[in-house]
């Protein structure tokens, strides 16, 4: 019951964060206090009153100011692979949402989502780069560098507001929702003002309209880059060597296809599948859903398509890992290669180990 009430509250706020309606206006005075406190905290770090740590290699933060999911994990995977292709040796640090352990810990092939979080595990599987999770990003970064001295650049998955770790490059990611109603929590969806400085702005949307770009980069001198997520095939969860092209599935109208997504913005995944011509039964789930409630038990469908982030958890549950209906749709972030080149160039000012 508590989870249902929490989901209902989240859904109500999410809808109201897109406009300046009565609820948002009622919460606006509270958002001013939130803005004041977050602004004071950031200023104290800038002034050196609150201490921060600098690591011996360049640090790139991939984050968002819009609460919830905007596509950080696909962007992080793309960036790691682009840096690897450029001859660098990146490592990744992350908070590890839902992790049950304290301290810095490595993400390995035998790690579970309960131990390290679903997103770090996916990043490790997709890139092969060293990944370490921990609440203290600076301590986690030092632990990763000690374990992997070959690493010459660190990517922080999220952690934009973790000012205890100094950074060389900040990338802020938005999606098609832009900045919502433009207000800070709890009246709006923003953790920090949209005018917050950054080095690069990435917009995860099928089209970059002038209105969308202005909404997320008001009067800022920042490079705005488009990102699109593309999925072309599905792999069976219990046998990842079995593949079906999405175009092939779309050509079979008799198939009953459901789509499940426990991510920050499930509509983005559903929209991608619809754009591929699929007719789907939508099953949106809470972000970081653990699937212990067996949400597919009574679902009448021939195929159930899911995200890779959800698949890393379902693969750990025997009943789900053996369900032949479950198929995973890997997505690839498509971004102009020039972004990686510019990030490398910005890091050249620091000695890279």
Judge whether 73 is annotated as a binding position.
Answer: yes
Other C-beta atoms within 10 Å of 85: how many?
A: 10
CA gap 54, 165 in Å, rounded: 6
Judge whether 72 is annotated as a binding position.
Answer: yes
CA atoms within 13 A on the CB side of 191: 17
| CA 37 to the chain's CA centroid | 25
Judge whether 70 is annotated as a binding position.
Answer: yes
DSSP for 130-170, please give it. Answer: -EEE-SSHHHHHHHHHHH-TT--EEEEES-TT-TTB--SEE
Neighbour-count burial for 36-60, b at 16+ CB within 10 Å, e otherwise: eebeeeeeeeeeeeeeeeebebbbb
Judge whether 309 is annotated as a binding position.
Answer: no
Judge whether 71 is annotated as a binding position.
Answer: yes
CA gap 266, 342 in Å, rounded: 31
Q: Are strands 153-157 and 59-63 parallel, antiparallel or unpaired?
A: parallel
| Residues in the annotated binding site for ATP | 66-73
| Residues in the annotated binding site | 66-73
């Amino acid at each position: 019951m508590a989870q249902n009430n929490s989901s209902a509250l989240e859904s109500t706020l999410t809808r109201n964060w897109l406009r300046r309606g009565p609820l948002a206006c009622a919460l606006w005075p509270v958002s001013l206090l939130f803005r004041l406190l977050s602004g004071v905290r950031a200023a104290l770090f800038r002034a050196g009153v609150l201490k921060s740590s600098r690591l011996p290699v360049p640090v790139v933060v991939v984050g968002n100011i819009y609460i919830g999911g905007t596509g950080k994990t696909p962007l992080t995977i793309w960036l790691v692979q682009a840096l690897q292709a450029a001859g660098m040796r990146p490592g990744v640090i992350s908070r590890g949402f839902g992790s049950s352990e304290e301290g810095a810990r490595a993400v390995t092939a035998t790690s579970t989502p309960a131990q390290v979080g679903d997103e770090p595990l996916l990043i490790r599987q997709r890139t092969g780069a060293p990944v370490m999770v921990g609440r203290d990003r600076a301590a986690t970064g030092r632990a990763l560098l000690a374990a992997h001295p070959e690493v010459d650049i660190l990517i922080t998955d999220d952690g934009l507001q973790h000012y205890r770790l100094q950074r060389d490059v900040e990338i802020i990611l938005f999606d098609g929702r832009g900045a919502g109603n433009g207000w800070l929590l709890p009246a709006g969806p923003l953790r920090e003002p949209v005018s917050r400085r950054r080095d690069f702005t990435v917009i995860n949307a099928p089209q970059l309209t002038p209105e969308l770009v202005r909404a997320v980069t008001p009067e800022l001198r920042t490079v705005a880059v488009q990102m699109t997520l593309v999925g072309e095939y599905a792999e069976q969860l219990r046998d990842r060597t079995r593949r079906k092209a999405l175009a092939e599935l779309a050509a079979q109208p008799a198939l009953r296809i459901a789509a499940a997504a426990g991510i920050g913005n499930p509509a983005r995944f559903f929209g991608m599948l619809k754009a591929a011509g699929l007719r789907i039964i939508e099953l949106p789930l809470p972000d970081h859903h653990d699937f212990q409630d067996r949400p597919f038990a009574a679902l009448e469908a021939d195929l159930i398509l899911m995200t890779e982030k959800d698949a890393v958890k379902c693969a750990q549950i025997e009943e789900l890992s053996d369900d032949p209906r479950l198929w995973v749709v890997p997505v690839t972030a498509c971004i102009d290669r020039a972004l990686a080149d510019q990030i490398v160039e910005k890091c050249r000012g620091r000695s890279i180990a």
